[in-house]
A and B are shown apart, each in its own frame.
Chain A
Amino acid sequence: MNAIEIKGLTKNFKEKQALCGLDMTVPVGAIYGFIGENGSGKSTTEKIICGLIHKSSGTVKLFSKDHTDPEIRSQMSALIEAPGCFPNMSVWNNMMLQAANLDISNAEQEVVKVLKLVRMEGAAGNKYKNCSLGMKQRVGIAMALLGNPKLLVLDEPINGLDADGMRIMREVLTDISKTGATVVISSHILGELEKIATHYGIIKGGKMLKEMTAAELEADCRTYTALQAKDMSRAKAILSCKYSHVEEDESGYIRVYDTVTPEEIVCYLYENGIIITEIGKAKIGLEEYYIDLMKGGK
């Protein structure tokens, strides 16, 4: 069963078409990294899934039922833009209000449980308005986690966080996935997303460009040999004579994408009088893969 199944989804805002026939499939239990440029339609898709905005056409099914079904909707949760907290209330009171809203019977234990999960148990007494951005995001996630939702939609939850905040958020999201919930996360910070996502969806211009699992991404991401030499331009020219795909990247390394070992390259360049200062095998990450895809590359 799929947690989300979208077919031919369109959304028009007056003359602007935000989504043009989007298809999306999120399996149950996945951490789905939803990637795309600003204005590509990520938030619009998420808001439609959450029932906040209406679709123009297409079908949106959550756990095989229509996304407007109250049964399904009572089992999902979201963090879209602001967490929806009242600034003058404490974190604890905000959490308790959400628990009351969801009619959770053992509210206090549930709130303690989710606050622990997001590492916020020590700051429960703080007023929400006095929390840092990272803390606010975690409170938002804790609120979204109340009532053990089966589907969680998080819109840019790691934006604006410092390195420590991101690490905590990563741990939190990994812990959430262990509860069996399906999580959809949109983010621009692909390096972070790569560490936790099990599935990916790349959207461009309101259309799904590609959907894949983490394993497929791994297989798709090409390995290459990166090197630096004393005479870079000559090294590149010599390598280009023998290998079909040689290029220089932005950080000043020559990349050889052909299937070849670093030892072979060292020998070949040495024979041509080039001294290598650094060499090693590497793999393109999600970020580069994404940029490549956006440029229309393979």
Chain B
Amino acid sequence: MKELNFKSPTFFERLRGMLGVDFYRLFHTPMFYIFLAIAAVIPAMILGTMGMENPQTGTVAEPLYTNTWHIIAAETPLYVVNNIADYANMNMVFIFGGIMVSIFIGHDYKSGYVKQLFTTHAKKQDYMLSKTIIGAFSMACMCITYLLGAVGGGLFAGTAFEVNVGSLVIAVISKMIMSLGWASLYTFLNIIFRRYFGVSIVSCFFFGTGILIIGAAAVFGNNAILNIFLYGSSVYACLSSSVLTLIVCLICSAAWTAVYTVAGTRILSKCDVY
């Protein structure tokens, strides 16, 4: 009889395989392109339509933004939301990202793909990491299309473009870094509600809006302590960002990614797959 040899795949071999599949799937998922388009259209639409004349009354609505970059982020960290203009910024892509991750993980369970996967891949952390990375990548892509949409909308509406370029770049990069933390949260939520697709999407939407932090800010005010949370750090990445902002976002995103990945891995390891 032939001798049986078993070779254990390394962490990178395992993750490379899983990521390869997930990236292929992402680029072949129509919803990804739809969200990229939505992320571009929303700022363009807000900027492009504001200040338009109402044909019935002849009045012109007061513009929400006088500066194009305000649709990317506020001038200073505003955890307390007073009007819709304070809320409508690049952080919206994190809501779309949540839906993307839900669709992805929902498909994995619905198709029976996880059964195949977990039969050959014993390490559940690989799955958590792969989904987190793919979710973060899709949200980072949405950040870019959001930025392009904002520039297009600003040019069309003729709003101002004055900004500290360095701070703007740091703000956008920081928000892209925050994508990782958000993606890990969504992956975690989808693991908890893996048998209830609808609940997964709703929970991602709920947390993605940052309503809990906005609520906390309403009570405690614009307090820097809120930066320890994902939404707080995402808001902290504003148009007055500095290197400190980048560091805070990096630490916050990495820390929450670690927490959610460990927690998600634990749940996956303890629970049965049906």
* Contact assessment for B4 and A63 in the assembled complex, using a CB-CB cutoff below 8 Å: yes
* Contact assessment for A74 and B112 in the assembled complex, using a CB-CB cutoff below 8 Å: no
Give the distance in Å from the alpha carbon of A150 to the alpha carbon of B18 in the complex.
Answer: 21
* Contact assessment for A85 and B111 in the assembled complex, using a CB-CB cutoff below 8 Å: yes
* Contact assessment for B25 and A97 in the assembled complex, using a CB-CB cutoff below 8 Å: yes
* Contact assessment for A73 and B122 in the assembled complex, using a CB-CB cutoff below 8 Å: yes
* Contact assessment for B2 and A98 in the assembled complex, using a CB-CB cutoff below 8 Å: no
Partner of B122, one of A28, A47, A68, A97: A68
Q: Is the interface of B mostly helix, strand, loop or mixed?
A: helix
Write out the residue numbers on chain B whose beta carbons fall within 8 Å of the beta carbon of A267. none
Give the distance in Å from the alpha carbon of A75 to the alpha carbon of B118 in the complex.
Answer: 12
Give the distance in Å from the alpha carbon of A28 to the alpha carbon of B3 in the complex.
Answer: 11
Which of B5-13, B166-174, B224-232, B248-256 lies at the interface with chain A?
A: B5-13
Write out the residue numbers on chain A whose beta carbons fall within 8 Å of the beta carbon of B122. 51, 68-70, 73-74
Q: Any chain B CB within 8 A of the CB of A83?
A: yes
Q: Any chain B CB within 8 A of the CB of A81?
A: yes
Chain A residues 63-84 with CB under 8 Å of chain B are: 63, 68-78, 80-84
* Contact assessment for B111 and A87 in the assembled complex, using a CB-CB cutoff below 8 Å: yes
Partner of A84, one of B6, B111, B274: B111
Write out the residue numbers on chain B whose beta carbons fall within 8 Å of the beta carbon of A78. 115-116, 119
Partner of B116, one of A1, A84, A100: A84
Write out the residue numbers on chain B whose beta carbons fall within 8 Å of the beta carbon of A241. none
In the complex, the number of residue pairs spanning A and B with C-beta atoms less than 8 Å apart equals 113
Q: Any chain B CB within 8 A of the CB of A116?
A: no
* Contact assessment for B21 and A75 in the assembled complex, using a CB-CB cutoff below 8 Å: no
Write out the residue numbers on chain A whose beta carbons fall within 8 Å of the beta carbon of B121. 70, 73-74
* Contact assessment for A80 and B115 in the assembled complex, using a CB-CB cutoff below 8 Å: yes
Give the distance in Å from the alpha carbon of A101 to the alpha carbon of B119 in the complex.
Answer: 12
Q: Closest B-chain residue to A69, C-beta based?
A: B122
Q: Any chain B CB within 8 A of the CB of A284?
A: no
Write out the residue numbers on chain B whose beta carbons fall within 8 Å of the beta carbon of A86. 25, 107, 111, 113
* Contact assessment for A52 and B273 in the assembled complex, using a CB-CB cutoff below 8 Å: yes
Instruction: Given A51-B118, A52-B272, A76-B120, answer yes or no on A100-B21 (Cβ-Cβ < 8 Å).
Output: yes
Write out the residue numbers on chain A whose beta carbons fall within 8 Å of the beta carbon of B115. 50, 52, 78, 80-82, 84
Whole-angstrom distance between the Cβ of B40 and the nearest chain A Cβ: 25
* Contact assessment for A52 and B118 in the assembled complex, using a CB-CB cutoff below 8 Å: yes
Whole-angstrom distance between the Cβ of A137 and the nearest chain B Cβ: 13
Task: Assign chain A's interface to a size class.
Answer: 35 or more
Give the distance in Å from the alpha carbon of A75 to the alpha carbon of B117 in the complex.
Answer: 12
Write out the residue numbers on chain B whose beta carbons fall within 8 Å of the beta carbon of A101. 17-18, 20-21, 117, 120
Partner of B8, one of A1, A51, A71, A97: A71
Whole-angstrom distance between the Cβ of A145 and the nearest chain B Cβ: 12
Whole-angstrom distance between the Cβ of B108 and the nearest chain A Cβ: 9
Partner of B119, one of A50, A87, A100, A150: A50
* Contact assessment for A73 and B120 in the assembled complex, using a CB-CB cutoff below 8 Å: yes
Instruction: Given A52-B119, A52-B273, answer yes or no on A71-B6 (Cβ-Cβ < 8 Å).
Output: yes
* Contact assessment for A84 and B112 in the assembled complex, using a CB-CB cutoff below 8 Å: yes
Q: Any chain A CB within 8 A of the CB of B16?
A: yes
Whole-angstrom distance between the Cβ of A139 and the nearest chain B Cβ: 12
Partner of B9, one of A68, A87, A100, A103: A103
* Contact assessment for A73 and B21 in the assembled complex, using a CB-CB cutoff below 8 Å: no
Q: Any chain B CB within 8 A of the CB of A89?
A: yes
Q: Closest B-chain residue to A63, C-beta based?
A: B4
Whole-angstrom distance between the Cβ of B1 and the nearest chain A Cβ: 7
Q: Any chain B CB within 8 A of the CB of A293?
A: no
Whole-angstrom distance between the Cβ of B207 and the nearest chain A Cβ: 27
On B, residues with C-beta under 8 Å from A are 1-2, 4, 6-9, 13-14, 16-18, 20-21, 24-25, 28, 107, 111-123, 270, 272-274
Q: 26 A-B residue contacts at CB 8 Å?
A: A47-B272, A47-B273, A53-B272, A54-B270, A63-B4, A70-B122, A71-B7, A73-B119, A73-B120, A76-B120, A77-B120, A78-B116, A84-B115, A84-B117, A85-B111, A86-B113, A87-B111, A93-B24, A100-B20, A100-B21, A101-B20, A101-B21, A102-B17, A143-B116, A150-B4, A180-B2
On A, residues with C-beta under 8 Å from B are 1, 28-29, 47, 50-54, 63, 68-78, 80-87, 89, 93, 97-98, 100-103, 143-144, 147, 150, 153, 180
Q: Give the top 5 A-B pairs by smallest Cβ distance, nearest first.
A: A82-B112, A53-B272, A84-B116, A103-B17, A100-B20
